[in-house]
A and B are shown apart, each in its own frame.
Chain A
């Protein structure tokens, strides 16, 4: 599936068919159809938890900039990269 490029207005949400649980403070997810499962690092865990309710990419990045002590462009770039990876693996969906 080819995704549209990510813009600030892209609304992100957790894709259907994924179950998640915390094991020793790490988020583990499994796709109930395919049985594929992933573990996320703390940043991935943080982002997935913020997608429990659909959110615009711009709002997500702004919230993370407020939360973390790092330059805005660094946080935005890293978040974008992680979101792209999560989309590639089908964990999250984006719509404009």
Chain B
């Protein structure tokens, strides 16, 4: 029997153009139409595994009503075709590396007439499987790309939103900080002017009273007056120191390469003048240059050296050492004295405001100096700590990060 090669050619080229069909259903319809021309063939079609309601089935039925359909696990709508063994039905598996994709099914009315086409149809099924698998892969790729694109778009939008919200929050916080700073500024102003004025008046009138009526005042009254003036002076110092502390917290840092030797000298000279009668054995190291705010660092040395002078006042042979050492990424500077020292058990709040370890009557001071030191050093990215022993002396340390150095 003669094989209609022309028909086979048509079918092959039809399969090769399958990729232009938008869906498998359309491909099935097309094949169905073509197969009508195959001798001995009644119908043709594609039956996909698990596709549920089949289209263009060779048997002309739908899977749901088909005696050859086996329900598959996963739902009543999923079937696999058990028709291959049935008479008059040829089902050629569409095999792909991922498994059987479905079947190319033909309902054969005349087996003898159809017989010579059998090998072609098998080949056709293989080609079909390849084309369909290609389509599937392409579709998956496209979907993956689209989903990726969608996710990128979504994430970009989310990021934009996040960045915007962050920006808003930063702006918000900055505004709040500015506001707080302005309030603090106003507060400092009010402290310096409005709080100091009545204090000044109290001191002034007490002084006038003492000057103009001294002759008639009993000794006790003079004592009261002296106490009054002393308290006024002390309150004045407290206010000034607090103002200073608030300033070191707010003032803009003016960073530059700083010669610590000069800064220490600038801090020490006025102290030496103020303590001209004192004999102190000074040991002062040669310091490396650092990067920082010169005025603030001078204040640190002033506070520490003034403390050392103060607490060695009663030492018969006062010795004060200003030195440094390198520790990892830091320079550690210190001021060590052999003064009265203190008990480390009480040193926890040493760097807090108004913390004093000695009675005010014994050593003067407002208890703000070390708080100032800590604030300045922490603004430079460093740390502050102390070591001491009663009657043996104290050492105050501060570190400055080396990478903050203004030198190569």
Do A and B originate from a single complex? no
Chain B residues with CB under 8 Å of chain A are none
A interface residues with partner B (beta carbon < 8 Å):
none
